Each structure stands twice: as structure tokens, then as C-alpha cells.
Structure 1
Amino acid sequence: MTQPTARLPLLAALAIATALAACSKQEDDRTAGQRLDGAIAEAKQTAEETRRDAQQAMNTAENSAARAADKTAQATGDVAITAKVNAALVADDKLKATQINVDTKEGHVTLTGQAPDAQSRERATTLASAVDGVKHVNNQLVVAPKNG
């Protein structure tokens, strides 16, 4: 990619040529040197505006890239949290045989499905809360009805 500053001499030359052409079309009492000085001043101003525009565009691009990286990192973190909570639930003797769905968004974990009993339901909250990166646990587990 061409650096914005590499285009400045070309833009300055174009601005000078444009200014000189405009000067030759108008009735002007200025000398050629004065017209050239004016054209150079305009070219410098144009170059400075171009530099500022290029800097602003680069800043905007950097900010967009940073926001995208933050979103990617957050999504990656949520996937890792979900995996760790699932692993903790599977490692628990009473919860490993249950179907508990774990959803994570920005560190907030939601548990859905069935727990075998009230103690296991609360244990699921405790296990999920203990995972690094979990900010909050929304336990929507329902206690399975007793058969028999």
C-alpha cells in the first residue's frame, strides 16, 4: 500500500499546475513570481489538508480494527468460558449425566435444561461461577420430576 506521505509531492505538483493554469486564464496584475508564490502556498495548503485527511483515515481504520479485535477476543473468551463450564459440569458426579445447555455472552453464563435435584441445580451455579471470566450466572435449570 502506498504511504499517504509518498503522494504529497505529486499532489503538490498537481496543485501548482492547476493554480498556474487558473492564473493564466484570469486577468491578473501579479508578476509570474507572485503567481508562482501563490500557487506554492495553495499547494502547501492542499498538501497539509491531504495529510490531515490521510491521518484521519488511518486513525479511523485503526479504531475499526481495534473494535473488531476486541469483539473477536470477547467471542473467543466466551467460547472458552462455555467450554470450561461444560467441563466442570461433566466432572460433577450428579451433573455429568444431565443435559445442561451453557450459553455465554460477554462473560454472562446462562444455564438451561434439567437438574436431577435442587442441590444439583445450585451446584451447577457454584461450578459455573467458579470458572475464570464468568461475571454472572443465570441459572434457568428446572429440577427433574421424580419418577415413581
Structure 2
Amino acid sequence: MTWDNALLLRLVRLNCAFLLAGALVAALAACSESEKAESRKNVDTAVEKTEDATVAAARKAADLAEKARDNTVNYFKSPAVKEDVEAAKQALKNAGGKLGSTANDTAITASVSAAIARDPELGPRRIEVASNAGAVRLSGSAPSAEAKQRAEQIARNVNGVDKVDNQITVTN
């Protein structure tokens, strides 16, 4: 083989190698584009599935919230809850009544004690006064039966007193 033929053969081989490399690059580029397209398609599919799942979850949450609201409304409309509310109202009313009664008893006790203390014969003596729901109990000592009766009359004249239990003893 002559030098010209060898060079020509090399050139042909080199040319073939370049053509083959170009074909490979073109094939790889085409392959890359198809992989990109496939990848985009996979991402789009995943996004669609996520959107569908989000919509389904939102619907489920709305349904659950609606059921919870309905259950709450039904609970508060139930007879048992209405009875509990009425019982609580009555307990508050009773507590308020007891508080008012205690305040009333304290005021009655103070008024009777002050009125007896103003009496010249009973004032220096120790007369104990206790009241409960308008009933007053007097105890201690008085110098005479008349003073004992006067203490009872003083207690009866105080506003709010319904009954007097006179336990005062007469001592000289």
C-alpha cells in the first residue's frame, strides 16, 4: 500500500469515526430530549395526582367539619344538656339565695345587737344574738324579768325578724 492509499484509508476511517461520533451525539441528544419529555410527563402526572389528593382531602375535611358542627348542635339541643343547664341555673339561684339569706341574717343580728346595746339597762350586759332565716335567738343575762321582756320586744321590732327565741336568764 502506498503512502497515498494509506493516507486515504486513514482519512476515510477518520471520517467514518467523525460520522459515527456525530450520529452517536445526535442519538444521545435525541435520547436526552425524550428522557426530558418523559421526565416532564412524570412530573405533570405527579402534580395532577397531588392536586387530586388535595381536593379530596379538602372535601373530606369540610365533610368532617360539617358533621362535627351538626354533632355539637345536636349535643347542645339534647335533653340531657338542657337538664344540666337547668340544674346549673338552679344551683346558682340557690347559692345566690343562701348568700342573700346569710347577708340578711348578719344584718338582722347586727341590728338587734345595736338596738339592745342602746338600752340603758341591757347595754352594759352581754346579750348574745344569733339569727337564722328571720328567727332570732337571744341568750345571756338580764337584771329583771322586765328587762328580759324588753330585750325580746326590741328584737321583734327590728325589720326582718319573724320569730324570737328568748333564752335570756334573769340574774340579780
TM range (shorter): 0.5 to 0.7
Correspondence 1:121 to 2:152: no
Alpha-carbon offset, residue 55 of structure 1: 2.0
Counterpart position of 2:68? 10
C-alpha contact (below 8 Å) 2:134/2:161 kept by paired residues: yes
* Matched length: 108
TM, length-normalised to structure 1: 0.66
Correspondence 1:132 to 2:159: yes
For residues 1-148 of structure 1, the aligned pairs below 5 Å read 10=68, 12=70, 47=74, 50-145=77-172
Q: Which amino acid aligns with 1:141?
A: I
Give unpaired runs (5+ residues) of structure 1.
Answer: 1-6, 15-45
The percentage of counterpart residues that share the same residue type is 30
Inter-CA distance 66–49: structure 2 relative to 1 (3 Å threshold): closer
C-alpha contact (below 8 Å) 1:8/1:47 kept by paired residues: no
- Partners of 1:8 and 1:63 in 2: how far apart? 34
Find runs of 4+ consecutive structure 1 residues off by over 4 angstroms. Answer: none
Inter-CA distance 66–12: structure 2 relative to 1 (3 Å threshold): same
Inter-CA distance 117–56: structure 2 relative to 1 (3 Å threshold): same
Greater gyration radius: 2
